[in-house]
Amino acid sequence: MSQQRVYDHRMSSGRSLAGPLHKMLQDSDLPFRDFVEVALYYPELGYYAREGSPVGKTGDFVTSPHISPVFSFALSLLISEFGAFVGGETSTIVDIGCGDGSLIYSLYKPNAMRFWGVDRSLQRVKHRDGVQFATSLAAVPRGDAQLVICNELFDALPFARLVMRGEHLHELWVTERDGVLDWSEHEAEAKYDDYFAERGVELRDGQFVDVSLDWESLYEEICGFVTRGLIVTFDYGYPEKQLFSGRIRQFGTAAAYSGHQVSRDLLARAGEQDLTAHINFSDLERAGERSGFKTLFFDRQAKFLLAAGATEHELLAPLDDVRAGTADEALEVRQQREDARRLILPDGIGEDIRVLVQGKGVPEAGWSFQRKLF
């Protein structure tokens, strides 16, 4: 195992996770899944529990709403279409894993719909009028119809890291040796063997996989919230046959992000770098179907945004139609146009992120995002 350390509790300041982690690891080693839970969500010190938002051009990584307003523009078109389908009923629009709230604020319009942001931590939200926030979906009034958006929610859930050793599945744990974090391996809990057996997935000797049992349970919770409406999930991930293919992904998908750099050093700087793994979209799709949802769309983000009407945005208008005054303004517009194109070009984020739309009690066909473009 090459991934290790860059952690020394003796050198750390009081405002880091080093102290709490050292204390926990004195009592016992931690399954890597629990280490991720601490690193991302430990009160006040976890990566997503701190005040400053790590998302954005000056942060550690960017998400689609922070790349270009074209993303929320396309979603606004979908919300209008949704409003027209459900008629005069009271609709609730919820962004789960809303982070600093910028996406849900950009979708808000003063109309009969109610707009909610939900996040485990609301520390980063800058409150303005119109949108309400909660730390759990259970606190959100349903209304008559619901449109739920999850943008990079599931890839932020704590995940286990597992490796096949001969016939046996092992789980990676975190231990402390001389004040330095290191890996150890234990036979995996039965629930992980069951996970792969139930899905008919056979892992190769030496293959690593990253799995969250919370993908399915959180999606089930969302399905339980929606009585009539849509769940729109944007995330990094694949159907399970691709995700767990030993030929393509022998080392799993776990990665750490900091300052727009990706690293495989998952134990470094706990609480100061993002930890993420690609998700199993088949888990979500099946959980939805069990709850009476139909899959209306599953494909790449670029395709979804184009079909949903992204090109109607002025940033994607032909260059001849764009007017910019000064040279600085022209440069700014050029940058914004490039950012907008990043979302829809068939490479980068437009290619990597997949979109799953499931619906219940709504038309199964005729939505803009289902249009065939070519």
Ligand X SMILES: C[S@@+](CC[C@H](N)C(=O)[O-])C[C@H]1O[C@@H](n2cnc3c(N)ncnc32)[C@H](O)[C@@H]1O
Q: Least distance from C-beta 280 to ligand X, angstroms?
A: 16
* Helix-helix angle 281-290:214-225, to 10 degrees: 40
121, 146, 253, 273: which one binds ligand X (CB under 6 A): 121
* Site for ligand X contains 340 (CB under 6 A): no
Which residues between 47 and 76 bind ligand X (CB under 6 A)? 48, 55, 63, 65-66
Quick check: 96 and 336 in contact, CB under 8 A?
Answer: no
Question: Exposed, middle or buried: residue 282 (CB in 10 Å: 0-12, 13-18, 19+)?
Answer: buried
Query: x/- site string to ligand X, residues 125 to 164, per CB under 6 A?
Result: --------------------------xxx--xx-------
H/E run at residue 76? helix 70-86
Piece of the chain touching ligand X by CB under 6 A; list 3-11, 115-123, 138-146, 168-176: 115-123
- Find the part of the chain contacting ligand X (CB under 6 A) among 17-25, 118-126, 251-259, 290-298: 118-126
Closest chain position to ligand X (CB): 97
Question: Residue 369, interface with ligand X (CB under 6 A)?
Answer: no
Exactly one of 31, 83, 97, 309 binds ligand X (CB under 6 A); that residue is 97
CB nearer to ligand X: pick between 99 and 237: 99
Write down the residue that tokens 């990094």 correspond to: 236
Using CB under 6 A, which of the segments 97-105, 169-177, 205-213, 328-336 binds ligand X? Answer: 97-105
CA pair distance 229, 224, nearest whole angstrom? 11
Judge contact between 102 and 117, C-beta under 8 A: no
Q: 132: burial class by Cβ within 10 Å (0-12, 13-18, 19+)?
A: middle
The CB-side HSE value for 84 (13 A sphere, CA atoms) comes to 9
For binding to ligand X (CB under 6 A), which residues are involved?
A: 48, 55, 63, 65-66, 96-99, 118-121, 151-153, 156-157, 218
